[in-house]
Amino acid sequence: MKFKINNILICTCYYIFLTIANTHADTDTPTKNAAAPLKKSDLCTKCTCDQPNNLIDCTSNLSSWLSKDEWDFLIDGDFALETIKLDHNNISKIPILKTYAVKHLYFGNNEIDSIAIGAFQNLSDLTSLDLSHNKLTSKVLLPDVFRGPYTTTDYKALVNMKSLNLGHNDLHFLDADLFEHIPNLEELILCSNNFQLLDGLSEVAISGLGSLKTLDISYMELATLPQTILHGPRDLETFIAAGNLFHELPKALTFAKNLASLVLNENPIEDLQGDNLFPVMTNLKYLSMSYMPKLRHIGAGAMSGLQNLTELILSDNKFLVEIDELAFAKNLTDGQYMNYPPLEKIYLNNCNLTAISRSLLVRWDKLAVLDLRFNPWNCEESNDYLISILLPQINTTTPLLAKNVRCETPSELTDVEVLSVATDRLSGNTSGSSIFWVGLLVFILIALPITLGIVVLYRRGCFTLHKHDGASSSALYNRARFNDDFQI
C-alpha cells in the first residue's frame, strides 16, 4: 500500500514538472499561427497594400496568377483585405480560390477564358465581382461557376453577391440557370456583348432575378426586347439600353413600374408619336435620349405618362426639329386643366431646334437648368418667349448656359447671341417706358396745377358773360365757404 502511494506521488510530481516545462516552452517559442506582417511581404512589395481602406491593388503588377505563398500571406496576414484588384495582368484562368473574407474582387481587362467550377465557393462574403473586358464565352460561363460550398444535401448559394459585371466579353446568350447560385443580385452588367437577340434562355435568366435594381444591356446590337423580360425584376430602378438598334420604344417598359432612371441613348428611333409613346411610368425621374441618329419629332403626349420626371436629356440629337407643345401635357382629372411633370433640368443643346413653345411647360421658373445652346434659333417676334423671358432667366440662374445660344434667322441676325437680342429689346422697352413716365411727371408738375386754377376761377364766376338782375342774383346766390374754393 505504501508503495502504491509513493508511485502516485512520483507520477503526480512528474506530470506537474512536464506541465511547467511545456508552459515555459510555449512562452519562449513564437505562436505557429501568429499573424504575419502583410506590409513586409513580397506581395505588398509588388502591389499596393492600403490598410486604412482594406485594399490591395495589383493592377498591372503581376506576371502570373498569385502563388500559393502569396495567397497564404493574404490569408494569414495581420489585417484583412476587403478589396482585391487584379486588373490588367494577363490572367487567363481563375482556379478555386481559397477561403478569404474578401468582399470586392476585380478581374477586369485580363485574358480570362476559363473559370473553374466553384471558383468562388470559399468566398462567402463576396459582394461584387468584376469579370469585364475578358474572353468569356457562353459555354464557359456555367451556373456552377458561381456555386457556393457544398452542404450535406446541396450547394449553398453565394447569398451576399449583389453586383456582377460581365460586360465586354464574348457572350451570345445566358444559361437559363446561370444565376441560380447568386439569387440576390441587384446589379447586372452585360454591356458590349454581341447578343443581337435575347433568346428564351437569356430571358429566363434575367427575369428570374427578383431583387435586380440595375440592368445594363447597352451596346448589345439588340433590335427588340422580349416583352416580359422586365416582369420578374419588379424592383428594377435603373435600366440602361443605350447603343442598340431599337426603332421604337421597347414594349417591355410597360412592366418596369418602379423604374426611376432610363437611358436610351444612341438608338435609331425616328419619332415619338402615334403608337410610339412612353407608357405610364409614375416613378421615372431621369430620362436620357441623347445622340439619337434619327430622332426628328417628339409629338403630342409622347411623354405625358412620365408625370414625375425631373431631369430630361435630349442633347446632341442633330435632326430633332420639333417638340410638340403638348409633349408633356396630360389630363389627369378630365377637367380643362392639363398636368405637367415637375421638371428641374432640361438639356436640349446641340439639336436642330428653331423655336420652343411657351406652353411646353407651365412652370419654367422652376427649372434649375435649361440648356438651349448650339441650336439654329429663330429670333423673329414669333419666338419672343424664348428671347424675352427664357434667355434672361437662364442668364440669371446659369450665365454660362446663356452663351452660345445664337440666332440663325432672320438673316440679319445670323450668329448673333440671343441674349444680345433680348437685351436690345429690353433697352427699347425701357426707352419707351421712360418717355411715358417723363410725360406723366410733366403733367403732374405743370398741367395739373393749371387745371386746378381754372376750376377755382370758374367756380368764382370769373367766366360769366352776362350780368343777372339784382333780385335774381340775390335769390340764387349763396356765398361759398372758404373751403369750397378747393373742392373739385
Angle at 190 between CA 240 and CA 171, to 5 degrees: 145
The secondary structure element, H or E, covering residue 460 is none
**CA neighbor of 169 nearest in space, from 119, 219, 241, 120:** 219
In angstroms, the CA 92 to CA 329 distance is: 55
Listing DSSP states for 312-372 in one string gives EE-TT-TT--EE-TTSS-B-SSSSS--B-----EEE--SS------GGG-S-GGG-SEEE-
Q: What are phi and psi of 60, to 5 degrees?
A: 60, 20
For residue 139, give the DSSP letter: T
**CA neighbor of 216 nearest in space, from 195, 204, 201:** 195
How do the pLDDT tens digits run along the chain, 488 residues long?
A: 444 445 544 454 444 444 444 444 444 444 434 566 777 778 888 899 898 899 999 999 987 788 888 888 888 877 788 999 999 999 999 999 999 999 999 999 999 999 999 999 999 999 999 999 999 999 999 999 999 988 878 889 999 999 999 999 999 999 999 999 999 999 999 999 999 999 999 999 999 999 999 999 999 999 999 999 999 999 999 999 999 999 999 999 999 999 999 999 999 999 999 999 999 999 999 999 999 999 999 999 999 999 999 999 999 999 999 999 999 999 877 777 899 999 999 999 999 999 999 999 999 999 999 999 999 999 999 999 999 999 999 999 999 999 999 999 999 999 999 999 988 775 655 444 445 555 556 556 676 677 776 766 666 666 554 444 444 333 333 434 434 443 33
pTM over 0.95: no
Q: What is the biggest distance separating any 2 CA atoms in the chain, rounded to whole angstroms?
A: 174
Q: Tell me, what's the pLDDT at 461?
A: 63
Three-class DSSP category at 278: coil
Q: Tell me, what's the pLDDT at 486?
A: 33
Residues 6+ apart with CB under 8 A from 374: 349, 350, 351, 404, 406
Listing DSSP states for 31-57 in one string gives PTTPPB-GGGSHHHHHSEEETTTTEEE
323, 298 contact by CB (below 8 A): yes
277, 252 contact by CB (below 8 A): no
Q: Tell me, what's the pLDDT at 416?
A: 96
Helix and strand numbers (H, E) in the chain are: 9, 21
Residues 6+ apart with CB under 8 A from 55: 48, 49, 81, 82, 83, 84, 85
Q: Tell me, what's the pLDDT at 305?
A: 96
